[in-house]
Amino acid sequence: MKINKNEVMALSFGALNLADYLTTRRILNTGGEELNPIANFLIRKKCLGAVKTLTTLGGMLGLYVEEKPKTVGMASLVVYGAIVAHNIKEIVQHEIEIRRESGYLEEDTIK
């Protein structure tokens, strides 16, 4: 069975965008803020989900139909991977702070 790089890249792009959206919502729902001014504008207009869905599907389609995966496509995966990693780090740090404040985690436990 041959692995189609375009399919893998398109699905990876979709998964990373979904993870970005879900982790961003989690951060916002726990008092965090959106630092991307474009996303922040879309959040205020209550259309981030729709725009994110359309741009993600467009990006997935673009990656899928490319004859050979391009550097831009690969770079977008790296960028979204970094964004998701950052969001997860922020969520974990927030959880640690909440547990410390509530007494469930001692100061010396995590450094």
- Assess if residue 33 is contained within a domain: yes
Angle in degrees, CA 55, 60, 64, rounded to 5: 150
CA pair distance 95, 93, nearest whole angstrom: 5
Position 102 scores a pLDDT of 85
pLDDT at residue number 72 = 84
Domain count within the chain:
1
Cβ partners under 8 Å of residue 79, min gap 6: none
Report the pLDDT value the prediction gives residue 81, as an integer from 0 to 100: 97
Confirm whether 18 is domain-assigned: yes
In a domain, 109, yes or no: no
Is 111 part of a structural domain of the chain? Answer: no
The answer as to whether 62 is a domain residue is yes
Predicted TM-score (pTM) of the model is 0.85
Domain range enclosing 35: 5-102
Residue 111, pLDDT > 60, answer no
Q: Is residue 107 part of a domain?
A: no
Q: How confident is the model at residue 13 (pLDDT cuts 50, 70, 90)?
A: very high
Q: What pLDDT digit, counting tens, does each position of 19-56 carry? A: 999 999 999 999 999 989 999 999 999 999 999 999 99
The reply to whether 110 falls in a domain is no
Note the pLDDT tens digit of each residue in 71-97. 888 899 999 999 999 999 999 999 999
The DSSP annotation for the chain comes to: ----HHHHHHHHHHHHHHHHHHHHHHHHHTT-----HHHHHHHHTT-HHHHHHHHHHHHHHHHHH-SS--HHHHHHHHHHHHHHHHHHHHHHHHHHHHHHHHTSS-TTT--
Q: Does residue 5 or residue 23 have the better pLDDT?
A: 23
